[in-house]
Structure 1
Amino acid sequence: MRQVLQKVEEYECESQIYINAIHGNSKGWITKVEMNEGNFRQRHYKLNQLLDIDFTQEDIYISLNTFYKTYRRIENLKEINCIHMDLDTYKTQFTKAQILMNLEDNYFGKKIPIPNLIIDSGRGLYLIWLINPVPYRALPLWKAVEEYLYKELKEFGADRMALDPTRVLRVPGSINSKSNTTVRILERNEYVHKLREIQEEYLPDIPLKEKSDLIDLKKGQKSKNIVYLFNERSLYLARMTDLVKICELRNYDIQGEREIILFLYRYYLNYFLEDEEKALNDILELNRMFVRPLPIKELTRATESAEKVYKSKGKDYKYKNETLIELLQITQEEQKHMITLISKEEYRRRDREYQKNRYVSKLKEEGKLTKQEELGILRKKIKAHKEAGLKNNDICDLLNIPLKTLKRHITYMKKNGLLA
């Protein structure tokens, strides 16, 4: 849908306009970050708390997406509200005005969607696309869209290191100390996008449903590469989620598996975020949650090869499920809570459960009862007749069942406390 961007004039409180636009319906935790002479301070707020804060200070940022917990890590994402692009225009040969004119004439609505917010961040520009909130499992598709926008906007200074769903951006109304200017909203558009709409219009090679770790669309090498990356990220995201779930199930009281968990977490984060600094910060935070955390030097040394492999691009660690289950000592009970770290036995159990639920759904659609439901109804009738004082032969006649069958039900019901 093509809509003309509205020019934003002067507002008394641009921070509130911005926060309401991004987080007007948010239910999760929003991260606020302050940078002061190199010191980094991070706190988390709900929407109503955030709106009461004075943002007319230097170097104040907030997250575009929200979190289930007060930890700004990828597996804690609750609502993905936005797609964003940080343009370091000062690194290009163009002025901001030239870039905006070019984008308006040749890109918006043609090569890329029309952004909802264009913000002057001081030395650069932010482009923000509001989307109907999607859960964290949509991150591989979100990331694919971010990658597409980055490639389209690279010549305008798009920041490769800012393609992060946990990213914080400067708040309009605050001051950028590097340029000594106020961050301002330049233009806005009220239309809210759908992530799938963007995918279908601009990235048609990505499948609507992922069916496996690798999907062969048979549409040429370009399509295969896109799908491969899309599904690789799906796997990395699931792996990271499972690693944190293991920590939670064990109440972070882990010793023997700490190193491998932190190593794998850093490895998968590097590949998913493509941001080594963010990956390192996140494993440091995860490590602090352990009952007995590793010393920082030991942690860095134990996991640094994860970053080296990522940077080399020449090899990677393709651990099989069986290997990871053995390394992490994941029990059958724990596997019930995993997404991908499951054994063949757990896979078969889930498949049986899926087939059973599918069978039950089909019966309900046809207006039929399951065998268990039929047995339940029959036993209720038997109980009612017994309590009414009827003899067994009379009950058999009424229910049209053999006496042997009736006695078997009565024995079962007495044994399980269903009949006195």
Structure 2
Amino acid sequence: MENSSQSHPAKTHAFAHLRPEAYCSLLHPQDGFGLPSILVKSHDGNTSGKTVELDHLVAMLPVYQDATSYLSLNRFHGSRGNNKVAALNALYVDLDFYNIEKLRRMNCSEVRAAFLSHLSRKSVPAPNLFLNSGRGLSAIWLIDSLPPGGRSRWKAAMQALLRLCAPFGADKCCSDEARVFRLPGSLNEKSNTEVAALLGSSERFCFDALSDAIFRSVGRPTREEFNCRRLGKTGNQTSNPNGREMPVGLSPAARFALILSDLEAIRGHFGDRIPEGMRNTWLHLYATCLTHLHDVVDIEGQIAETARQATPDLPHQEVAAIQTQAQAKTLHPDKRYYFRGSTIAAMLGVSDDLARDLGLKQVMSEKLRTAGRSKQRTANRRSKGVVAREDYLAANSSSQEKPWEALGISRATYYRRKKQNKLPRHSKSVRQVCLRLQGHHGDQGTDPNFGEGRNIALCLSGTPLCEGARQTKA
């Protein structure tokens, strides 16, 4: 099956009936963490639920199908519950389209087609599975399993998905981790219809890519954009101390424009001709960038001209294949390739030293990108007047000299009096006197004059002495 990108499987509108055994195995792989949960409603109305091994679930399917049975979408440790989640396995919506006036007269096939068209217009990939329960319709997107620590991100994606699917009667209550859907092959007692599962693609989605597509469809920021906003980065670009522009929260078009510039810089490094061994890869990446730009009129012609100049020895059939693929991606934006800058650097063998020398803005390793961001954050802090730690400690050495000990007061009292401007003017001299006096007297248990240095320090600091101390002083 063709992949439309590194993150999304190819979107297809052809859905075929799926056997219940295959549905269970696809939803809950053998190597997954935790166990699926089955909920069975008996004829007298009582319900019982338990987590079971996949082998047991498949073996007992005929029994479960004879009753009103439900299967969890996620997996659990022990009993099914939101606080017992072992792995988040899918995103899903329950479409009660019969509650929508304009959809009420449609059958499930018509609603499914309209729903897929709606997702396509919003640039959200089609779900892997549909469940036809006899009344409504359920859509399931399979994802690479998330650990329980990803629940907050999963919930945010679920809320955005409900908003996206609201025109089709998405049930707002169907958004918890412990949700169960009817088991395919069982009978919906309300409509007297057998539940059927339809499969479009068996390839799981990368959660980050899928959730970003859902967030964009409802006008919410992607994860990267949200992090940039949270860090207070309001502009699209900020200045770097070395003079380069560090992109922040760029759109795909802007990011691939920078990647295109980096590819041209790499080409210039090799004397305007890409060496053998990386010609096909470089031209493929170049064509990928063009598919993301909005001002490219003749993409096949531009690829041909670039191949003539940069990769003249590349066989014509390889250039033609890249042209055909790029033209197809341009006509179907949802199938375009997406590459990280670090992935491109690895594909072309771009070292950190070369990336620095060429001043690349996107094609670099994650290590180099992280270092650049760290320098940028430091520069931003300095521009806002935040002093470096070593400079602060050089100007504020109290934490190292501990003058409160010489004054015989606590650290908190010292800083409180310092704020009130009630400290002696020559606190260092006081400390030196106290240290000399304390050095000439014994410990508290044997020397009757112990504490004389402390009393002198207290006197110099303006602290009143107790009655015993006044007598000693006299």
- TM bin, normalised by shorter chain, reads 0.3 to 0.5
Scaled by the length of structure 2, the TM-score of the pair is 0.42
Scaled by the length of structure 1, the TM-score of the pair is 0.47
Question: Highest CA radius of gyration, 1 or 2?
Answer: 2
